[in-house]
Structure 1
Amino acid sequence: MSPLIKTILRGICLIILLSVLGFSVQSGGLGGVFNQDWVDDNVRGAGIKGNLIFVFGAGLVIALGLPRQIISFLGGYAFGLLLGTGLALVATSLGCVISFTFARFMGRELVSARFPTRLKKANGFLRYNSFAMALLIRLLPLGSNLVTNLVAGVSSASALGFLAGSVLGYIPQTIIFALLGSGINLDPAFRITSSVLLFVLSAALGVYLYRRYRQGQELNGGLE
């Protein structure tokens, strides 16, 4: 079985696991604590302050290594699809900025020593078009978000290009997992099924773009 197929299967397993967890919370009596009314009273009721608490708290734990898909799921579960997607995307982007900046300005030696092989690959991959390559990396459901951010921070990647490409590339999976989270409270069968299908389509798009990139590299190498 190819690494990509394994990764897609792990993603689907994560979707199933989060769905089961969400329904367990609802049916176990905790739904009254974490449902929309609780969010309205304790987070949304605080206006911008409540949203900032979610964004900065989630951004910090993403910077420390929590999978961004979990934050997107929680955003959709707590705030609904549209607002949950927006807040989760901002939080994920903030986590990316924090870990990238740490690696570039404070953790260069640590990251270089810990991930020498990945750093070499990142330099070759991100060097010439950091925006497009970062976008491609985020579309592919491969690897660790934290490790990617750290290695990119130490590499020769353009900070602005990498961060902009990452934000754009985060959007599909953020929507997918926020949709999944929102489905715990509303139309679960449709939203969970849609999440699985969209995840597979997103992965397929990433693979297609990566293959186009590889073909272009081989063509350029032949012309040289």
Structure 2
Amino acid sequence: MISPLPPGFRLRVLLRGLVLIATLVAVGFLIEGFGFRDALDTSWIDSQIRGKGLSGDALFVVVGALFAGIGLPRQAVCFLGGYAFGFAEGVLWSSLASVLGCIGAFYYARFLGRSLVVTRFPERIARLDAFLAGNTFSMSLLLRLLPVGSNLLANLAGGVSGVRAVPFFLGSALGYLPQTLVFVLLGSGIQVDPVFRIGSSVILFIASGVLGVWLYRRYRHGRRLDAETEAALDEGNSGDDVATRSG
């Protein structure tokens, strides 16, 4: 019987699977072997990052990018960036770590994990792909401004879709900025003016969330995300929907 698969297809699938396994093993080894399981807490920052110069800065960015890239909360990276470096440098290094994590997950999905991601999240990936299509920069920016949704899933969706990489990364970087500012400010509040900085962080977080939801509802142009995200965004706003549809 002649196989319907093209020559070399099964070998390519096997090699991709082996690379996928090797990647996951490598991540686990880094986490366990180098003590990254305990990384990104204040004691690790004190012992490995502060006062280490550029080597400490680079280590923070690498570990932060790894954590953000595998789906751990990006806000924690930003918080500890503020704790480690203060506001200005914290924003810089946390933003770089967030964007590098985004790039890593994007290309991982595009070149290695496409079949795995599509199989695991078929409907959500399809909706995110449709949402990002058209104006990738604007839709990526809008997606990142929302206070709900999965950062990792958005990165993976971008990777398995046909969106252009550079507009996706630029829109993501700009969309990350409001929450980066909020959590870096909150982290730096451990050191200076905690009441003022924590209060300001709460206000900025609420404001950025409200802005993201308002922009989404105004400019999504018929695009819709998954049902869970839509329910969270539309909760308590059914009256607005009626007014919009009747207007």
Output the TM-score relative to the length of structure 1. 0.77
Aligned residues: 183
**Offset, 1:135:** 0.3
**Offset, 1:207:** 1.3
Matched, 1:162 2:178: no
SS in 2 for 1:141: coil
Distance, in Å, in 2 between the alignment partners of 1:63 and 1:73 is 17
The residue aligned with 1:190 is 196
Aligned equivalent of 2:85, options 71, 79, 83: 79
Matched, 1:60 2:66: yes
Structure 1 unaligned spans of 5+: 1-29, 219-224
Matched, 1:103 2:109: yes
**Offset, 1:157:** 1.6
One-letter amino acid matched to 1:93: V
Deviations along 1:189-217, one digit per CA (max 9) or x if unpaired, are 11111111101110111112112214x44
Moved beyond 6 Å, runs of 4+: none
The residue aligned with 1:152 is 158
**Offset, 1:175:** 0.6
Q: What is the aligned-residue RMSD (CA, Å)?
A: 1.9
The residue aligned with 1:20 is none
SS in 2 for 1:49: helix
**Offset, 1:103:** 0.3
Matched, 1:45 2:32: no
The residue aligned with 1:221 is none
Distance, in Å, in 1 between the alignment partners of 2:62 and 2:69 is 10
Does the CA contact (< 8 Å) of 1:115 and 1:151 recur in 2?
no
Deviations along 1:8-50, one digit per CA (max 9) or x if unpaired, are xxxxxxxxxxxxxxxxxxxxxx98x578xx47xx535332222
One-letter amino acid matched to 2:152: L
**Offset, 1:87:** 0.5
Bigger Rg, which one:
2
Does the CA contact (< 8 Å) of 1:130 and 1:157 recur in 2?
yes
Distance, in Å, in 1 between the alignment partners of 2:88 and 2:106 is 27
SS in 2 for 1:133: helix
Distance, in Å, in 2 between the alignment partners of 1:198 and 1:83 is 19
The residue aligned with 2:5 is none
Matched, 1:122 2:136: no
**Offset, 1:141:** 1.1
One-letter amino acid matched to 2:204: L
Distance, in Å, in 1 between the alignment partners of 2:200 and 2:89 is 18
Output the TM-score relative to the length of structure 2. 0.70
Structure 2 unaligned spans of 5+: 1-40, 224-247
Asked which structure has the greater RCO (Cα within 8 Å, sep 6+), the reply is 1
Distance, in Å, in 2 between the alignment partners of 1:92 and 1:62 is 6
Distance, in Å, in 1 between the alignment partners of 2:162 and 2:219 is 19
Distance, in Å, in 2 between the alignment partners of 1:138 and 1:187 is 29
**Offset, 1:62:** 1.0
Does the CA contact (< 8 Å) of 1:134 and 1:162 recur in 2?
yes
Does the CA contact (< 8 Å) of 2:186 and 2:198 recur in 1?
yes
One-letter amino acid matched to 1:181: G
Does the CA contact (< 8 Å) of 1:34 and 1:78 recur in 2?
no
**Offset, 1:116:** 0.6
